A = this chain, B = another copy of it.
Amino acid sequence: MRMNTKNLITFKTILEMGSFQKAADKLGYTQSTVTFQIKQLEEELELELFEKIGRRMELTQAGKDIMPYVDMILQGAEQISNYGKSLSEISGTIKLAIPDSILIYTMQPFIQAFRHEAPNIQLVIHSLQAGQIIQAVMDGIADIGINCEKDNYPDTIIHNNLGTYRILLVASPFMDRGLLDFVTPHQRKPFSLICNEPDGYYQLEMNKYLDKKDIVLNQYMKVQSIEAVKRCVMNNLGIAVVPSYSVEEELKNGALIPIKTELDEKIYNAIYVYHKNKWISPQMKLALDLLIKIKADC
């Protein structure tokens, strides 16, 4: 039952970095020290943690099974080391799983608020395929996931809606209205599609739609930010695909106009999910509280 956090941290670092050598580099040890520490840990726990598969070290079943308890120990140690510290001082890590690109924009207010409230908590963002989010949360790879699906969760997963939004195609009000028919198929359009993330979710959805309709635009134009996208569209440099919430203001005051497409009705949800059985650390509580707060502000 004798055990120390140093060896456990080395153990976790090996899993994170993928090799003894890289863990040694990260932790400032030599590789032989890491080998020694793991051997010592294995003796202390009376368990084999790794087995050599070829030139790779792989976690044994026992190693996988004890992970929740290793985390329990390290979490406990982390909480103690944060004792008495204010929100702006506490450290730790929160791992978010977010489906590729699209939702980053939605999450911006959250990420900013989080960094502001607790600058020392490391916010690790895994960008994953939408289908892998739940798995990541179930496996404990991510503490919190952001997902699009509204239903169909296993009951070990707690989920809450953060808001709904639509994908819109927008244009400048000075654009020739005759060119804005995006329903009739087989067209060639003499203007650009402006975007900031060509591989983003909106973009891909819209591309699929345009492909299906065989509507081809002049060229693609990539700019830095979604703000830049909007300004370009307002200056009639082309049209753009945007999430509805990002252009609400401009649609209201007429700086931008929506283009009718058959994608109009497509509604998306931003849902945050986390594992039911996970201990909610103060760090995680802060993240969840902020998600709810940001939602209320919208």
Residues of A within 8 A of B (CB): 1-6, 9, 45-47, 62, 65-66, 69-73, 75-81, 83-84, 279
Of the candidates A2, A45, A80, A83, the one having the most CB atoms from chain B within 10 angstroms of its own CB is: A80
Per the bound structure, the CA–CA distance linking A181 and B69 in Å amounts to 63
Q: Lowest 10 CB-CB distances: which A-B pairs, in order? A: A72-B76, A4-B4, A73-B76, A69-B76, A69-B79, A3-B5, A69-B80, A66-B80, A73-B73, A1-B81
The answer to whether B5 and A2 have CB atoms under 8 Å apart is yes
Q: How far is the CB of A8 from chain B (nearest CB, A)?
A: 9
Of B3, B66, B80, B279, which one neighbours A83 at CB under 8 angstroms? B66
12 example contacts (A-B, Cβ-Cβ < 8 A) are as follows: A1-B78, A1-B81, A3-B4, A4-B5, A46-B81, A47-B80, A65-B83, A66-B83, A69-B76, A69-B79, A72-B72, A72-B73
Residue of B nearest to A91 (CB): B1
Residues of B within 8 A of A45 (CB): 80-81, 83
Per the bound structure, the CA–CA distance linking A4 and B1 in Å amounts to 10
The answer to whether A47 and B84 have CB atoms under 8 Å apart is yes
Per the bound structure, the CA–CA distance linking A113 and B110 in Å amounts to 53
Per the bound structure, the CA–CA distance linking A79 and B45 in Å amounts to 10
Per the bound structure, the CA–CA distance linking A218 and B73 in Å amounts to 62
The answer to whether B5 and A77 have CB atoms under 8 Å apart is no
Per the bound structure, the CA–CA distance linking A62 and B82 in Å amounts to 11
The answer to whether B1 and A77 have CB atoms under 8 Å apart is yes
Residues of B within 8 A of A77 (CB): 1, 3, 69, 73
